[in-house]
Chains A and B, each alone.
Chain A
Amino acid sequence: MKPAKAKLGLMLVEDTPSLQMLYRTVLKKAGYDPICASTGAEAQALFAAERPPVVLLDLVLPDCDGLTLLTEMLAEAPETRVIVITANGSVAKAVQATRKGAFDFLVKPLGDLRMIGAVANAMTEYQSITQGAGKGMSHAIRSRQDAFVAQSEPMRQVTTVIDAVARSNAPVFIIGASGSGKAACAEMIHLRSSRAAKPLIQVDCGLPDTQALEAMLFGTGPQGDTSQSAIQRAKGGTLFLRNPQKLTPLLQARLLSVLNTGKSAESQPGDAPVDIRIISAARRDPLEAIRAGEMEEALYYRLFVLPLTLPPLHARPEDLPVIAAQFLLEIAQQEGKQFKRITPEALALLQAQPWEGNLHELRNVLRQAVVLHDGPDLTPAMLPHMSREPNHASPGAPVILDLDTALAGLTMAEIEARAIRAAIARNGGSIPRAAQELDIAPSTIYRKRDDWEKNAH
């Protein structure tokens, strides 16, 4: 393997001498010549002097916390791509690092290919950032991003999380009800990442034809289909997996193998690991699928690294006028109609609906009105099936759940895990904010997540 970017600098920070020696040997065999540090102080000095574009950083150092060092390096040189190294069982800390801006994380024991692949990706991304690739976004892309309306507070929080996760290479898991905009969100993350110029390939893992799905995803079905796989087509870009929990156990195992080894079915011996960023999406936290024995826990923890929860449409009424106006103009153009605006009365009616089908339902209602009527104004009379009753599901109105029923059959540990995960999701993936909401220390959540991960293995 001959990395094209071997001349770029690389710093390895590892305090255990034999591991430093081992990693350095692997990196040298791949054509890199890393400078090495054994302590936080050494790393700080070398970083200040050499400004290496890529850093491999062990999170546990004898004289300082690796997370602090990570923050300092990114504050000094934000374009630096830092790959953190952590021991199995400390994955929560690695996730915390990716939230602080780490490019990727590696779990000990480090596989040679995985390490070289991560370094090569980081080098490529560093070059694309410093050479301006991805900065000159086309008008069409900018326009699609603008269509992701975020005037409401819940959506503003979502876009903040999107900006943060777009800088990372770690897997994102989007949770949102049907029609809440999961695909648009995945596109937004992809377009804001340094991979924007590369493909975004979408695969619906809930397809009933397992053989076709296998061929689509991996390129080789049981009948020898060798069409190019989604994994290969997404090379350098993003693979968007809808409903990965619905994959059969066999396909889950194959996907896990690709994620662990970086090798796809088409890979040849000596090939570099496949460089893809994974974004997944589902209506609910797939933890339920694990409980039902439908999803491999190992795959769940590989995909569910950076969770992102999309609010339903009824929870973001401030966004509805803009979204409805955009949909109206778009549909009117498609249908050759002259609709220009929505009257305040019609808008009030639209805002009062529960929108259980979210954006899909809104689009359907508007299409029906446009097809059956003429503009330029959309009026309440054109929305005959809309409920005139106040929307009880609107924000501010508490949603009453039958907790006894919802929690029946769960153990105390499961209830606790569910409450914590829900709080993390409600807070856009922020553990400190989730901890504040639950009135517990953030370290309690990290410890519990560590325990869940340990128990998963």
Chain B
Amino acid sequence: MVEPRLDTALLDSLVEMGGEDLRAQLLADLQNCETALKALCFSDQQIVPGAMSGAAQVLHTLRGLAMTIGATALVRNCMQAEELGSAVGRETLVQSLVTVVQECASVCAYLEYRPDRDA
């Protein structure tokens, strides 16, 4: 799994402030976004303009989350995917979403198994 590029100090300070509930909710929200995007990438569903608008909502939510927790690479990946729109082919769109999903999974993994979680 790729090491997530994120501001771990910021993320840790947020979790410290909001406690276990916030950590769990952040993780759940990120995983929901990841699941929704995976469904678009790996199901038989066509990523056509209509479906892309569904993805756009998820990408927007994910971007807001990523900005808040300092996941800079995920922010960038989301923005790139959002900018693609419907002008490019399915393969390019899927590739872009796969990148987002991979980065999102890395961030989720960090949140789930933070090194200092039990410290």
Is residue B60 within 8 Å, beta carbon to beta carbon, of the partner chain? Answer: yes
Q: Bound complex: CA of A110 vs CA of B28, how far in Å?
A: 20
Q: Chain B residues near A19 (CB, 8 Å)?
A: 29, 64-65, 68
Chain A interface category by residue count: 10 to 19
Interface residue tally for chain B (C-beta within 8 Å): 19
Q: Bound complex: CA of A60 vs CA of B82, how far in Å?
A: 15
Q: Which of B48-80 contact A (CB under 8 A)?
A: 57, 60-61, 63-65, 67-68, 70, 79
Most chain B CB within 10 A, of A15, A16, A60, A108, is at A16
Q: Which of B87-113 contact A (CB under 8 A)?
A: none
The answer on a CB contact under 8 Å between B18 and A22 is: yes
Is residue B17 within 8 Å, beta carbon to beta carbon, of the partner chain? Answer: yes
The answer on a CB contact under 8 Å between A87 and B60 is: yes
Is residue A88 within 8 Å, beta carbon to beta carbon, of the partner chain? Answer: yes
The answer on a CB contact under 8 Å between B64 and A108 is: yes
Is residue B25 within 8 Å, beta carbon to beta carbon, of the partner chain? Answer: yes
Q: Bound complex: CA of A18 vs CA of B65, how far in Å?
A: 8
CB distance from B102 to the nearest CB of A (A): 21
Q: Which of B1-23 contact A (CB under 8 A)?
A: 14, 17-18, 21-22
Is residue B40 within 8 Å, beta carbon to beta carbon, of the partner chain? Answer: no
Q: Chain A residues near B79 (CB, 8 Å)?
A: 89, 454
CB distance from A118 to the nearest CB of B (A): 17
Q: Bound complex: CA of A62 vs CA of B64, how far in Å?
A: 14
Q: Bound complex: CA of A18 vs CA of B20, how far in Å?
A: 12
Give the A-B contact count at a CB cut-off of 8 A: 50
Is residue A109 within 8 Å, beta carbon to beta carbon, of the partner chain? Answer: yes
Contact of B67 among A25, A60, A62, A109 (CB under 8 A): A109
The answer on a CB contact under 8 Å between A109 and B68 is: yes
The answer on a CB contact under 8 Å between A25 and B64 is: no
The answer on a CB contact under 8 Å between B57 and A25 is: no
The answer on a CB contact under 8 Å between A16 and B28 is: no
The answer on a CB contact under 8 Å between B64 and A22 is: no
CB distance from A176 to the nearest CB of B (A): 36
Is residue B26 within 8 Å, beta carbon to beta carbon, of the partner chain? Answer: yes
The answer on a CB contact under 8 Å between A16 and B57 is: no
The answer on a CB contact under 8 Å between A87 and B14 is: no
The answer on a CB contact under 8 Å between B28 and A18 is: yes
Q: Bound complex: CA of A17 vs CA of B79, how far in Å?
A: 21
Q: Chain B residues near A21 (CB, 8 Å)?
A: 18, 21-22, 25
Q: Bound complex: CA of A62 vs CA of B22, how far in Å?
A: 21
Q: Chain B residues near A60 (CB, 8 Å)?
A: 57, 60-61
Q: Chain A residues near B25 (CB, 8 Å)?
A: 17-18, 21
Q: Which residue of A lies closest to B26 (CB)?
A: A18
The answer on a CB contact under 8 Å between B18 and A16 is: no
The answer on a CB contact under 8 Å between A25 and B29 is: no
Q: Bound complex: CA of A40 vs CA of B38, how far in Å?
A: 27
Q: Bound complex: CA of A137 vs CA of B18, how far in Å?
A: 46
CB contact under 8 A between A87 and B28, given known A21-B18, A22-B18, A25-B22: no
Contact with B along A17-56 (1 / 0, CB 8 A): 1110110011001000000000000000000000000000
The answer on a CB contact under 8 Å between B29 and A17 is: yes
CB distance from A272 to the nearest CB of B (A): 19
CB distance from B35 to the nearest CB of A (A): 15
CB contact under 8 A between A16 and B22, given known A88-B67, A108-B67: no
Q: Bound complex: CA of A29 vs CA of B22, how far in Å?
A: 15
Q: Bound complex: CA of A17 vs CA of B65, how far in Å?
A: 10
Q: Bound complex: CA of A16 vs CA of B63, how far in Å?
A: 11
16 A–B contacts from the bound complex (CB under 8 Å) = A15-B61, A16-B64, A17-B28, A18-B28, A19-B65, A21-B21, A22-B18, A25-B22, A60-B60, A87-B64, A88-B67, A89-B63, A108-B64, A108-B67, A109-B67, A109-B68
Q: What 8 additional pairs, Cβ within 8 angstroms, besides A87-B67, A108-B64, A108-B67?
A: A15-B61, A16-B61, A18-B25, A21-B18, A25-B22, A60-B60, A62-B57, A109-B67
